Amino acid sequence: MELNEHGIYKLPDGREFLVRAGAHGGYILHDLRLGVASAPVYLIDGSGQFLSWGKRTRWSLGDLFDTGRRAAPEVERIQLL
């Protein structure tokens, strides 16, 4: 499953995230409750596994639902360090 850059996705628990492309074919997710300029709360690795602080979580790429909404494209891209 490929995610849309600047797409807004939802997890089954109701939380919504802004998705950005990350390194090595992965993604970074920003919690919309914290704002798009906040640090990413999750990384999604190349296998589709969610990582938080480098540790696997119970979530995977297949758990995300595309809301059909998109963030403004002029929002600055946050790079992974």
Instruction: Tell whether 78 is covered by a domain.
Output: no
Which CATH number covers residue 63?
2.40.220
pLDDT digits (tens, 9 = 90+) for 34-57: 876 778 899 999 899 999 998 999
How many residues does this entry show for the chain? 81
Instruction: Tell whether 39 is covered by a domain.
Output: yes
Residues spanned by the domain of 37: 7-68
Amino acid 36: pLDDT: 66
Instruction: Tell whether 45 is covered by a domain.
Output: yes
Instruction: Tell whether 61 is covered by a domain.
Output: yes
Instruction: Tell whether 79 is covered by a domain.
Output: no
Amino acid 22: pLDDT: 83
33 contacts 50 by C-beta, under 8 angstroms: no
DSSP string, 7-46: EEEE-TTS-EEEEEE-GGG-EEEEETTT-TTSPPSEEE-T
Q: Distances in Å between the alpha carbon of 46 and those of 4, 9, 10, 74, 76? A: 15, 18, 19, 26, 23
Instruction: Tell whether 73 is covered by a domain.
Output: no
- What gap in Å lies between CA 53 and CA 41, rounded to an integer? 8
The total number of structural domains in the chain stands at 1
Amino acid 80: pLDDT: 42
pTM for this one? 0.81
pLDDT tens for each residue of the chain, 81 residues long: 789 989 999 999 999 999 998 877 789 999 988 876 778 899 999 899 999 998 999 999 999 999 999 987 654 444 444
